[in-house]
Amino acid sequence: MCRWAAYRGEPLYLEELVTSPKHSLIEQSHCAVRAKTATNGDGFGIAWYGDRPEPGRYRDILPAWSDCNLKSIARQIRSPLFLAHVRAATGGGTRRDNCHPFVFGRWSFMHNGQIGDFEHLRRPMETMLDNELYSARSGTTDSELLFLLALQFGLDRDPLGAVAEALAFVERLAERLGRPALVRFTAAFSDGRDLYAVRYATDWKAPTLYAGPMGSSGGYCLVSEPLNDDDSAWVEVPDGSAIIVGENGVDVRLFGTADVAMAPASRLFSG
């Protein structure tokens, strides 16, 4: 089980969420007090938005808690919008290309969860990608592929719709192949302007997602698990929801794949 934290608000030093001694993502990962799987030592990554339209990114395969570069970078960089992820590999080897967040153009994306039977779905999923996105695939995880599928299905145009479509595609693909459709998906993503998160699973067992205000001027933090013991500071986002943190605050919506039209998937399925 991976862990992640994302922030949108007044510029904040990354270290406050990522590496500070108490209650940060890294500390939590090292101690892993609440998690079912104890270790998160399969790499980490951060993506932050600064002066450029595209995010900066730093990721490595060391355990996050032993990386001095991360500590120094997180202490120097202040950003109004960033994502941080600590990985527990469920599939895909331990290598930089498999570490979240994934980045494409101005988009960043990170994920906790899994696609059941991914080894059988991988190839037809990759077949759906246009050449540009196919070439952009550099790792072997289901997470990166879901991100590329969402880009394929219009992440730029309709972020939540495109993600729903990518998930719906996977579900239907599994059914077509006569396999049970299992998707668990708790993800955060951003275009540098708004911060999105989705909690969704076909079996209503999506990994947890919490939201909490941060700072004095309307900032928000989204996390896979509360970063400290003050549970009252965090609100659990229910399964089947999407959350958008934008200029005007937080917006929570229902999220599902039931109503997704078959348009793009039909390319593959119509054959």
Q: Is 66 in the site for a second copy (CB under 8 A)?
A: yes
Q: Is 266 in the site for a second copy (CB under 8 A)?
A: no
User: Hey, what are 167's tokens?
Assistant: 């998930």
The closest of 208, 214, 253, 206 to 233, measured between CA atoms, is 214
The closest of 156, 143, 150, 249 to 186, measured between CA atoms, is 143
- Write the binding mask 20 to 59 for a second copy: x where contact by CB under 8 A, - elsewhere: ----------xxx-----xx-xx-----x-xxx---xxxx
Find the binder of a second copy among 91, 104, 117, 122 (CB under 8 A): 122
Contacts to a second copy from residues 170-229, by CB under 8 A: none
What does each C-alpha distance from 133 to 55, 70, 87, 105 come to in angstroms?
18, 29, 23, 11
- Write the binding mask 78 to 97 for a second copy: x where contact by CB under 8 A, - elsewhere: x----------x---xxxxx
Residue among 25 and 89 whose Cβ is closer to a second copy: 89
Angle (CA) 128-131-134 rounded to 5° is 65
Residue among 91 and 238 whose Cβ is closer to a second copy: 91
Find the binder of a second copy among 77, 84, 206, 244 (CB under 8 A): 77
Strand order in the sheet with 107-115: 102-104, 107-115, 183-190, 195-201, 241-246, 249-254
Region of 133-141, 159-167, 177-185, 207-215 interacting with a second copy (CB under 8 A):
133-141
Q: Enumerate residues 6+ apart whose C-beta is below 8 A from 196.
A: 159, 160, 163, 188, 189, 190, 242, 243, 244, 245
Q: Is 160 in the site for a second copy (CB under 8 A)?
A: no
Please give the single-letter amino acid code of residue 180. Answer: P
Q: How far is the CB of 188 from a second copy (least distance, A)?
A: 19
**3-state secondary structure at position 193:** coil
Residue among 32 and 163 whose Cβ is closer to a second copy: 32
Residue among 77 and 83 whose Cβ is closer to a second copy: 77
Which helix (H) or strand (E) segment holds residue 112: the answer is strand 107-115
Residue among 51 and 247 whose Cβ is closer to a second copy: 51
Q: Please state the φ and ψ torsions of residue 121, each to the nearest 5 degrees.
A: -95, -20
Residues found near a second copy in the complex (CB under 8 A): 30-32, 38-39, 41-42, 48, 50-52, 56-63, 66-69, 72-73, 75-78, 89, 93-97, 119, 122-123, 131, 134-135, 138, 140
